[in-house]
Amino acid sequence: MSTRRTKTREKILLAAWKLLEASPPISVRMSDIAKETGISRQALYQHFPARSELLIATARYLDEVKDVDVRLAPSRSAKSGAERLDAFIEAWGNYIPEIYGVAKAFLAMKDTDPAVAAAWEDRMQAVKHGCNAVILALKKDGTLSPNFPPKKATDILWTMLSVRNWEQYRFECGFSQRTYIKTMKQVSKRLLFIDTTNSNK
């Protein structure tokens, strides 16, 4: 039971997380994380062979703590496709701000580090699967617009809900988080639902 090692490791991940999620955002160096943890920079490398590994481990740690599956439960148990769409946007859309710091670090590094790119890709594919499930539920209900084949509808929804777009809406367009969620629901419905004389209230 290397309890000491485990404890330090967790302290490191916690420190990394805290710094990455700091606002205003700062550039987080290995030395910053070491200082925040209360150990030497070199000791960091005994736990994580590279910055990229530490980043990936931090993401995994987040996954664990934040329990994504629980958050997505309402979406999965929704009765109609419409409800499922709303629940999914609610869950994922409100998850983004909680992971944004780490996500930003991933996005900044994925162009230079293949391992980071792969880890990011994984997570984004998971989101895409979520989108796809929503689209399939709509199709099953017969409420998916015939304008878009399911695959394409998935691509569109997925792109619409990207972290980059969240970033733009929040920081460039000045949307509040609430407005963001409301808008995404509104837009996705208008876009993906079959045309009826539907009033989207």
Binders of a second copy among residues 105 to 164 (CB under 8 A) are: 108, 111-112, 124, 145, 147, 152, 155-156, 158-160, 162, 164
* Binding partner at 2 among a second copy, DNA, none, C-beta below 5 to 8 Å by kind: DNA
Contact region with DNA (CB under 7 A), list: 48-56, 123-131, 154-162, 163-171: 48-56
| DSSP code per residue over 138-197 | HHHHT-B-TTS-HHHHHHHHHHHT-HHHHHIIIIIS---HHHHHHHHHHHHHHHHB--SS
Which residue has tokens 């910053």?
32
* Binding partner at 139 among a second copy, DNA, none, C-beta below 5 to 8 Å by kind: none
* Binding partner at 156 among a second copy, DNA, none, C-beta below 5 to 8 Å by kind: a second copy
Please state, in angstroms and rounded to a whole number, the distance separating the CA atoms of residues 180 and 43: 42
Which helix (H) or strand (E) segment holds residue 199: the answer is none
Binding site for DNA (CB under 7 A): 2-5, 8, 29-31, 38-43, 45-47, 49-52
